[in-house]
Structure 1
Amino acid sequence: MPVTQRRGRKIMMTAEEVDAFLAAERTCRVATVSADGTPHVSPLWFAWDGTALWLYSLTRSKRWADLRRDGRVAVVVDAGHAYGELRGVELTGTVEVVGEVPRTGEPHPGLAPMERQFARKYFDLDELPHDGRHAWLRLAPESVRSWDFRKTAAR
């Protein structure tokens, strides 16, 4: 996983902490660029496989239209309420579509592990129910930045 962080090394998460954090959290915020150049940010459920972030997006959404036109994206996953509890990860890069659009459940060996993980995480099921309205986007991040303000309290 690429780490491009220079500032804030004292509060930066280790690779293991990033993996654990992304495995545990449920909602990310996806930032795209609209056709007119304005930013668009929307919440989305996700799965993390240790190297890539998998986004299961509605194919008839503004987010999907933005990403099909320009695949560059910034994604933030964060947690905490009080200042000293804040922690998070920002991943940036370009998404790629994986599987059919929309996803109907056609066998796809590259999606099987992620769909099982996603189904367990969000639905407590072993198989992901397909509704013919969503499809998969994969972000292999070009940069990863993290912060954990709880580390400042430990000093």
Structure 2
Amino acid sequence: MTAADSSPGGPRSIEQRGREALERLTRDTDAWVATADATGEPTLVPLTFWWDGETVWLATRDTNPTGRNLRTSGRVRLSFGHTRDVVLIQGTARRLTSEELPASVGDAFAAKDGWDPRGSGPSYVWFQITPEVIQAWGTVPEMADRDLMRDGKWLVRGD
């Protein structure tokens, strides 16, 4: 249970939410990944991720809707947690093949989840998501002060 679930004393400080957001990015295994195609048709899927301390790494098939959307537009929204303790990231994606992927990234991704997409065939590619906006909140009183990052610059990092 998080502070957002049981905060009878009121909303958490932005610094506390920053710390908890970084903990979530380090600890959680999966994120909801939202993309859209050129016509605006949305796609929302859960994907395993790895946070390297600055960017989020995802692996998916290049030919599925999420892979195509990321390759075409480079725009993505990621959601971590649940509705009463959410971290949202809006960012841009850079595509890499398994051959282009730094070995240290692939190794860290595999160590975190126990699955190594590098062995799942050539249709799997990697996307490095660079955050532009990071927000964290749990309840309505925390929404007004939810920005941890804006325009790619940390406002409150929490570590």
Deviation at 1:26, TM superposition (A): 1.1
Compute the displacement of 1:131 (Å).
2.3
Please state if 1:59 is matched with 2:59.
no
Aligned residue number for residue 91 of structure 1: 89
> How many aligned residue pairs are there?
130
Q: Would you say the 8 A contact 1:75–1:92 is kept in 2?
A: yes
Q: Could you tell me the TM-score, scaled by structure 2's length?
A: 0.70
Across the aligned residues of Structure 1 and Structure 2, the Cα RMSD in angstroms comes to: 2.7
Higher RCO (C-alpha 8 Å, min separation 6): 1
Contact 1:27 1:46 in 2 (8 A): yes
Q: Over residues 70-105 of structure 1, what are the superposed CA-to-partner deviations in whole Å (9 max), with x where a residue is unaligned?
A: 1111110114xxx7xx3221000211113x2xx2xx
Contact 1:57 1:64 in 2 (8 A): yes
Please say if 1:69 is aligned against 2:72.
Answer: yes
Q: Show the counterpart of 2:31.
A: 28
- Secondary structure at 2:63 match in 1: coil
CA contact (8 A) 1:32 1:66 kept: yes
CA distance in 2: counterparts of 1:41 and 1:25, whole angstroms:
18
Q: Distance in 2 between matches of 1:95 and 1:57?
A: 13
Check if 1:19 corresponds to 2:9. no
Q: Identity of paired residues, percent?
A: 26
Matched, 1:145 2:148: no
Runs of 4+ displaced beyond 6 Å? none
Deviations 1:5-40 (A, max 9, x none): xxxx74645443222111111111111112321221
5+ residue gaps, structure 2: 1-10, 143-159
TM-score by length of 1: 0.71
What's the CA shift for 1:143? 0.4
8 A Cα contact 1:73 1:92, kept in partner = yes
